[in-house]
Amino acid sequence: MKKRRYFIIITTILLIVTVIMAQTPDIDKDFKDSDKIIGTWVSKAKDSRMEIYKSNDSYKGRLIEGWGLELYEDDGVTLTQDSKNPDKSLRDRTLKNMEFISEMTFEKGAYKGGEIYMAKLGKSMKCKMYFKGEELRVRIYVGIPILGTTKKWTRVQ
């Protein structure tokens, strides 16, 4: 009975350590150039471009192209609207040039505290960003970072 209890405790501890390690990316905490994020970024899939800019003490991002969405309706002229937004008064705004990333602040080598808007879902999710070399990693999640996905963006030259 004692052996089984110890096994369960050790297994639980190993699981917790694994979860913590999985949600803690290799962030360079000595990285100081907070404005390095400013510029235009393209997704790894090359299906979207985001312009990240500084506004007061935070960083924001606006959609320039794509984001896995078609920015134009089938006629090729009419811009797609934010039709799934839970706020009915915002459903007529267009996705192009809309702010998708909000209120990211720089702390200990990473950009934290902000949200990213998921237009296909009509909701915002938590977001954390950090650099891995010259690549910008964007962690999008619900609740805790382990419950999410990481997107890789490269700077547009």
Tell me which residue of 69, 55, 52 sits closest to 129, measured CA to CA: 52
Does 10 reside within a domain? Answer: no
Structural domain span for residue 56 = 27-155
Q: Which two tokens stand for residue 155?
A: 């700077």
**Number of neighbouring beta carbons within 10 Å of residue 152:** 13
- Mean pLDDT (whole number) for 50-79: 86
The pLDDT value given to residue 111: 95
* Alpha-carbon torsion angle 139, 145, 149, 151, nearest 10: 10
Q: Is the pLDDT of residue 130 over 90?
A: yes
Domain presence at residue 70: yes
Closest by CA to 151, choosing from 44, 72, 46, is 44
pLDDT tens for 89-110 read: 999 999 999 999 999 999 988 9
Q: What is the DSSP letter of 30?
A: T
Number of domains in the chain: 1
Give the domain CATH number at 129.
2.40.128.520
